[in-house]
Structure 1
Amino acid sequence: MENILYLGGPNIASEIYNKEYANARICGAEKWRKPLAKFLRQPHFIVWDNGDLVTHEVMGGLKNVYAIGAGMVASLTNESATSKSVYFAHCTSEMIFITHLLAKNPEKLAGPLLADTYVTLLKGRNAWYGQKLANGELTLDMGDSIKGKGMIQGVSAVKAFYELLGQSHLSILHPEEKKPVAPVELCPILKTLHKILISREVPTEAILQALRDETMNDPRDRIEIAQNHAFYMPSLLGQ
């Protein structure tokens, strides 16, 4: 991965184009990221550099996954701040859990990483897509390349992460049932998004049912599982 770089937010591309003040991070090998960060920096576009490429790549994909669900929740609850905050708590705990499987010492979901997730759930094209699906202005049959918006990356990312974490040879101990399960079984929001977008088993309203499941644990429990156990599985990304 010596020659791979990641450039991410927190920002919205259209607002950068309009020269609104923004921050970004470029991640990868030091010999590339530092000169490029300096080259890209402008008065309205401040670019930081960071060496944790894997965490940023994983989080960069996951934020698009969960942004679709955020858009659905916003539309289905008439922009309820409470419902959106409940969703945010659960989806970020799943993001942390998944990242600990894929990165050896992942950076915490805080600062720029958290801000990038927040802005994507707030206004990105994936959140917009989720809203339009939930209110009926778009349908899944229209595909994930939308005129005027481009590719909705979160749709294919839902499929990719679900299949990656659902492989039959992977297993972790379920904290309550005390039996081995695939990692995806501890990610109810990801599972629900897969049922809505990929297998098309349930309508968009299922995202609210997943949030309101009385058996769902405190999101903090999922984070503690990830942080307190040796979950890192380098084979998942061929490392």
Structure 2
Amino acid sequence: MKQKVAVLGPGSWGTALAQVLAENGHEVRIWGNNKEQIDEINTHHTNQHYLPDLVIPESIQGKLSLEECIEEADAVLFVVPTKAIRSVAQEFTAKCKNQPLIIHASKGLEQGSHKRISEVLMEEIPTEKRRGVVVLSGPSHAEEVAVHDITTITAAGEDLAQASYVQQLFMNDYFRIYTNDDVIGVETGAALKNIIALGAGAIHGLGFGDNAKAAIMTRGLAEISRLGVAMGANPLTFIGLSGVGDLIVTCTSVHSRNWRAGNLLGKGHSLDEVLENMGMIVEGVSTTKAAYELSQQLNVEMPITEAIYKVLYEGEEVKQAAKEIMLRDGKTENEFSI
């Protein structure tokens, strides 16, 4: 059945997901606040800054007005940076005149509150203006989805019927969706893997090889699982697509902004230089701070996250941070120690 879907955020991931929806026959509108970018989408059917090689389906309509974008939408997909989620949700609430399903495909934790994105959305969007909230997350690079590379991700919602609706919206012969009812686990895995990707990139930048990469990914997954379980997640979620799957793709690919940022840090660049060089949001930087503070609050041991926090926010050298982790007291290998 053809659905009206509003996509909020014309970055690389928002654009790639809009393409999937349009190719599946849905009516798609995409909102952004950069007039030149929206004009480019409508006139040239491209988004050069984010996906330079993609020709966007002509049926996708770019909108500068949020009210026009969400008008009579069956579903609204939030794909804006974590720091903008609350303000965009507030604007959505002020202008929404119906009750669409809310979907989000952003990955992070809110600064200060340490809240997951679905928590922020439910705080800001009253029940009369949303049918529910579903998380769309998993191992996916926008650059690969845009060229129809085979991709599998997860739609997570407390109401599995709503997750199944999202599954049907997006699924096709190159983009496969699995459903899950563990919203906490899916969101936690999505957010925290960016921290480990920074570390994996830094390890590469220092010149270490596959042994070190395997170590940081495996023990990083243990950290993600520990914090997620402390927050109420199902531990099995972390051996699925939004856990180990997302961790693999983010820690091993040059498409990953977080890996690239970590790589530059490992090569000796300052954080300011790295962020200026990237030209896009590196969610792992802010997520590191939120996760570190949350781990202190919940008394969860996260030495890799703590080491990356020291590099980003206390000016410690990457090589020294890696050395400190290696020289920690010996531990027993299980999901609750590192």
Same fold (TM over 0.5): yes
Quote the Cα distance in structure 2 between the aligned partners of 1:215 and 1:95: 20
Partner of 2:266: 134
Partner of 1:191: 306
Aligned AA (1:158): T
Q: Deviations over 1:24-70 (max 9, x none)?
A: 11111223211111110111111111111110101111101111001
Quote the Cα distance in structure 2 between the aligned partners of 1:215 and 1:225: 11
The alignment partner of 1:114 has SS state of: helix
Q: Give 1:90 deviation, angstroms.
A: 1.7
Q: Give 1:225 deviation, angstroms.
A: 6.2
The alignment partner of 1:15 has SS state of: helix
Q: Give 1:145 deviation, angstroms.
A: 6.5
Partner of 1:38: 168
* Counterpart among 175, 197, 204 of residue 67 in structure 1: 197
User: CA-atom RMSD, angstroms?
Assistant: 2.2
Quote the Cα distance in structure 1 between the aligned partners of 2:337 and 2:264: 35
The alignment partner of 1:48 has SS state of: strand
Partner of 2:239: 110
Structure 1 stretches of at least 4 aligned residues deviating more than 6 Å after TM superposition: none
Partner of 1:27: 156
**Is structure 2 residue 4 aligned with structure 1 residue 4?**
no
Aligned AA (1:73): I
Q: Deviations over 1:177-200 (max 9, x none)?
A: xxxxx32xx211111111001222
Judged with a 3 Å threshold, the aligned counterparts in structure 2 of structure 1 residues 204 and 24 are, in CA distance, closer, same or farther, namely same
Quote the Cα distance in structure 2 between the aligned partners of 1:224 and 1:147: 35
The alignment partner of 1:100 has SS state of: helix
Q: Deviations over 1:94-147 (max 9, x none)?
A: 1111111111534342132311111111122111110012113x4212474654
Map 1:79-228 to 2 at 5 A. Answer: 80-112=209-241, 113-123=243-253, 124-136=256-268, 138-142=269-273, 144=275, 147-148=278-279, 150-167=280-297, 170=298, 182-183=299-300, 186-200=301-315, 202-220=316-334, 223-224=335-336
* TM-score, structure 1 as length reference: 0.78
Identity of aligned residues (%): 24
Partner of 1:57: 187
Quote the Cα distance in structure 1 between the aligned partners of 2:333 and 2:276: 33
* TM-score, structure 2 as length reference: 0.56
Judged with a 3 Å threshold, the aligned counterparts in structure 2 of structure 1 residues 104 and 59 are, in CA distance, closer, same or farther, namely closer
Judged with a 3 Å threshold, the aligned counterparts in structure 2 of structure 1 residues 128 and 225 are, in CA distance, closer, same or farther, namely closer
Partner of 2:59: none
The alignment partner of 1:205 has SS state of: helix
Corresponding pairs, count: 205
Q: Which runs of 5+ in 1 are unaligned?
A: 171-181, 227-239
Aligned AA (1:199): E
Q: Is the 8 A contact 1:145 1:152 kept in 2?
A: no
Judged with a 3 Å threshold, the aligned counterparts in structure 2 of structure 1 residues 30 and 122 are, in CA distance, closer, same or farther, namely same
The alignment partner of 1:109 has SS state of: helix
The alignment partner of 2:292 has SS state of: helix
Judged with a 3 Å threshold, the aligned counterparts in structure 2 of structure 1 residues 210 and 88 are, in CA distance, closer, same or farther, namely farther
Q: Is the 8 A contact 2:186 2:237 kept in 1?
A: no
The alignment partner of 1:215 has SS state of: coil
Q: Which moved more, 1:107-116 or 1:9-18?
A: 107-116
Q: Is the 8 A contact 1:8 1:26 kept in 2?
A: yes
Q: Is the 8 A contact 2:155 2:178 kept in 1?
A: yes
- Structure showing greater radius of gyration is 2
Q: Which runs of 5+ in 2 are unaligned?
A: 1-121, 123-130
